[in-house]
Amino acid sequence: MNAQTNESLPNVVVLDYGSGNVHSAVRALERAGANVSLTAHPDEVLEADGLVVPGVGAFATVMKELKAVDGPRLIGRRVAGGRPVLGICVGLQILFDESAEHESREPGMGEWPGIVERLPADVVPHMGWNTVQVPDGTRLFAGIENERFYFVHSYAVQKWEFDVNQPRMKAPMVTWAEHGAPFIAAVENGPLSATQFHPEKSGDAGSALLRNWIKSL
């Protein structure tokens, strides 16, 4: 079988808004089978087959930098139009209502209800490999349900408060992990997916997850 040509690969944009560690995400997505661009150009962000929103550092800083490139509006337009988006680490956290990081309340995008709070663990940050508990029917973790993934974070969403009785809306699938307390490790919600861990740092398991996401584009 001939290898896929670059023209036949899906186009993925990694949102370039000043977050660190973006180049490792770009390389991991390329290895997983995508044409990847690092840009914040609105037309490219909106037209790509998939958008990846990485994030490292403080929640408030990430939100400020995202707003500087009109990131929340662009992400919101893609989600409203059913265009796939994948958030990574703080790129997951900013999709929730707000963060209580550094004892202040910072608003997020509000795509999902919940508050980002400090992990109640003896050792913080949570740094290293951890297992996850995946939901039935997951596409993101298909074939890698029992693998470990690499986490680096001190804050997480520890309660899922989505109203499952909302009419005409399918409840998101939530994956959990534990460090001092259970916390949300990933969410799959139609076109919008996100992971608290770093798939680009999670070896073969992370590569498989990215391939699963790319196949869904």
Give me the active site residues, please: 89, 198, 200
The count of other CB atoms within 10 Å of the CB of residue 109 is 20
DSSP state of 72: H
Euclidean distance between CA atoms 186 and 174, whole angstroms: 6
C-alpha separations of 53 from 18, 73, 87, 102 in Å: 11, 13, 5, 23
C-alpha separations of 192 from 55, 94, 188 in Å: 16, 13, 6
Number of H helices, E strands in the chain: 6, 13
The number of angstroms, rounded, from the C-alpha of 88 to the middle of its chain's C-alpha atoms is: 3
Residues 6+ apart with CB under 8 A from 155: 59, 93, 99, 100, 101, 116, 117, 118, 119
